Amino acid sequence: MKNTIASLGFILLSVLSYAGAAEICEFMFTDCPQNFNGDTIKVPQSVVALSSEIKACGTELTSAGDSAKLPSSIMFVIDHSGSMTGEGSGPNDQMGSRFTVTTALIDSIYKVQPNAEVGVVVFSEHLYFDKTSSQYFSSYFSTLPKTYDAEPNQAYLPLLKLNGKYGDKSGIDIIKDVLKTDTVQGRNRRKYVDLVYKPNFVTEYYTNINIGFIAAKDAMKSAANPAERQFVIFLSDGEPMGDSRAGLPANDFEKGTNMPTTFTVYFTSNKNAPLSLRNMTANIQKNGYSSSNPSSELWAIETNHNTLLNLLMDNVFDNILITGDPLHMVINGVKSTSFVNSSFVFPEQFPLQATITSFNATASYKYTDPQTNAVRDTNVSINFTVKRVPDSEITKGITLNCWEQPTLQFYYNGSPISFISEEMSRVEIRLDPNDETIKAATVRISSNLESENFVLAPVGTVLGAPVGVQLAAKGIAGDKIMQHIEGDSLVAVYKNPKIPLDSVRIAIPIVDKSGPVLDSAIYYPGRNGARDTLKVVFSEPVQCRVLTAASPGVSYNYYDAGTLSSGFLNGASYIGTCETDLVASVYFLVNQGTVVPVTDSMNLVGLSSTVKDKNGNMPSKDNPKVPVVWGTDNSISIAVSKNPFNPVTTIIPHNVYEKFSSAIGPQNRPGIIVGISSLKPLVKKNDSYGTAKIYDPLGNIIAKDIKIEESTVSGDYGAFWDGTNMAGRLVGTGIYLMEITVTDTDRIVTQKKIKVGMKR
């Protein structure tokens, strides 16, 4: 029974050695913590802590008198380029969420801060509003102090107090009249939501961000509220395009000079904002315009009305309503030490319990009346529970920050080992911190006789300690020698003292090596139909001529996914001859495609007379297994059938369809198939062995989430495209780029690209 336990421990260790370090995470709030008051937040079991940085948000003031004292000045800067509507590229905002959500957000601001002042900048290559327009509200438009891009009448709607009276209209009514929308049909017969208002001058719907920012800064010169109460909400889907640049470099806006706190939402289908906007946001955060500028933020979303409204309400609305300076937060009795980048910062992460953890928090803010300078403190109570659930989805309003967990490994004479033999009287335990910062650590090591703590010291980039190993009848406490019995194992455990769930365990068997055992089994796939090769490495040199006189099937057991395969090595044959009497390793050929690395394993046939060391010792009956591992890097190639193709008339050849019907569908149909050949198997996730995207000549994604399926008659894979875009319409003649992303069993992600031609 002891030998069985040791073998199981050895197998477990071998599998872990090839799996790599585990990933663990902390969770962070991206939404206001107040929004989770009374909630149970579910997180995956990889989450072990709450971040030490907690987002700070204000609370809505319930007293109209209080809210009236601390209003905001808000400029909406709205991109109205052709890619928004689809009149250019796109469409990235076909249903006009940038206008409908702006109107809805202004209504929400009015309810809490009726005396807030709001202005609007709409731009394409010029400011979109025209001072010479006939509508009544054009009399409120403001032109710029000088003429830009040869258009003197371009204008913006300046800051208007929402509850202020302007003739027979209130400020909020004027703004909502300017932002009225209607559904129209464009030049390409696509319907989209547009402003009812139209300027008198002609616009080509290019993108000139510089002019939008010039107008916003010009408007803020007349703001009634202090700099820390001034905000810009910038909605855009692109980078500068066209010749109109306000006489500046195209990306001058990126400097963020003299810009108030700015919340930017970038409309995109791929969730990534361009570098120019990332740089712009970073520069605005630190430009010194106001104390609130560090709270400037950038998001990238695929927009619709609800998505955009929820994002602004959850992340921007509360920031605009912060009317005091954050003082501190207390969570479960621990007080924050500082306030940085709109977050309370604590000394350490908050560890989670194994299943459920309760958090009780209080956030304190200092409010100063701008008229009387009277100061008052406000406390906000926030109570929530965190529950760790297997495979839980990420709750909206939180995000995960993950890292590689530390790893443990036993060493002998400076090399890693997967078992301990009788001559190894002194080994070493090492802890690799990986992504964590560990300056000192204690590891507890146990055998069947005793447990001892070992204090690890730095050894280069890792930490380590020597461990004595001794066969004995009983343990001796404190001698730093692990006494053990025959067939025993050593189990080492490291626990992060600050985060108990951040623990690492490794088990290593202590084996009787009176006879040889396998150290490793390495697989090399054959090329072009040739047989595959297995290399086996022994724990000590064995007698070569005795070994190779018999077929490999006599000397080795092969386990198919853990199950002994009696006929697997039938027909296997050794490569080469015995140049020396003793060899440390040998090679032999096996049938192609039968070996499955990582999941398969091998050991020596117990008491086999064909495997002997120099003294004639044979393998023990229960000698340990080793996993079969890859001996080569992966190789992936792709090829395309019928290129170029006609999406109406090009039929996939029958032999190709039979091979890739899983990708094409139950019936053959027009299109193109891209075949993918991978030396190592690909990993299937979400019913696909990877994904494919199609880009047009301008680099825009026109089709995505194309599934990659396994071939029905071989180990290859295929991706099929019928020539349609994401809207289900056939694209035009041209050369397109297919980008394929796959992950192999070693978790290596590979991207391949190939041009495909469309001919209609």
| Residue 400 burial (C-beta neighbours within 10 Å; 0-12, 13-18, 19+) | middle
Rounded to whole angstroms, the Cα distance separating 600 from 748 reads 20
Q: How confident is the model at residue 495 (pLDDT cuts 50, 70, 90)?
A: very high
Choosing among 3.40.50, 3.40.30, 1.10.287, 3.30.300, the CATH entry for 81-320 is: 3.40.50
**In percent, how much of the chain has pLDDT > 90?**
59
Write the pLDDT tens digit of every residue in 588-601: 999 888 888 888 99
The whole-number pLDDT of residue 369 equals 52
Give the contacts of 286 (CB within 8 A, at least 6 positions apart): 293, 294
Residues 14 and 418 sit within 8 Å (Cβ to Cβ)? yes
Question: Across all residues in the chain, what is the average pLDDT?
Answer: 87
Q: What is the pLDDT of residues 372-409, one digit of tens each?
A: 556 667 778 899 999 999 988 888 889 999 999 999 99
pLDDT at 528: 67
Given a cut of 60, is residue 669 above it in pLDDT? Answer: yes
Per-residue pLDDT reduced to its tens digit, 308-354: 998 998 788 766 765 556 778 999 999 988 887 778 999 999 999 99
CATH number of 24-58+324-403: 2.60.40
Three-class secondary structure assignment of 367-421: EECCCCCCEEEEEEEEEEEEEECCCCCCCCCEEEEEEECCEEEEEECCEECCCEC
Q: Which of helix, strand or coil describes residue 563? A: strand
19 pLDDT band, cuts 50/70/90, is very low
pLDDT value of residue 13:
36
User: Directed axis angle between helix 97-112 and helix 171-178, to 10°?
Assistant: 170
Strands 47-50 and 343-345: unpaired
Predicted confidence at residue 20, as pLDDT, reads 52
Question: Which pLDDT tens digit goes with each residue over 505-555?
Answer: 999 998 765 689 999 999 988 876 788 899 999 988 999 999 999 999 999
Up-side HSE of residue 576: CA atoms within 13 Å toward CB? 12
CA distance 182 to 197: 10
Q: Is 610 helix (H, G, I), strand (E, B) or coil?
A: coil
Q: Which CATH class is domain 518-630?
A: mainly beta
367-382 burial code (b ≥16 CB/10 A, e <16) = beeeeeeeeeebebeb
Pairing status of strand 375-388 against strand 356-368: antiparallel
Q: What are the domain boundaries of the chain? A: 2-22+405-509, 24-58+324-403, 81-320, 518-630, 636-758
- Per-residue confidence (pLDDT) for residue 193, from 0 to 100: 92
Evaluate whether the domain defined by 2-22+405-509 bears CATH number 2.60.40.
yes
The pLDDT of residue 158 is above 60: yes
- Classified as helix, coil or strand, 99 is helix
The C-alpha atoms of residue 476 and residue 427 are separated, in whole angstroms, by 18
Lowest mean pLDDT among 26-30, 38-42, 107-111, 541-545: 107-111
Asked if the model's pLDDT at residue 16 lies above 50, the reply is no
- Taking domain 636-758, whether its CATH number is 3.40.50.2000 is answered by no
CATH topology agreement for domains 81-320 and 518-630: no
* Nearest of 533, 380, 326, 407 to residue 35 by alpha carbon: 380
Q: What is the pTM of this model?
A: 0.42
Mean pLDDT of 566-582: 90
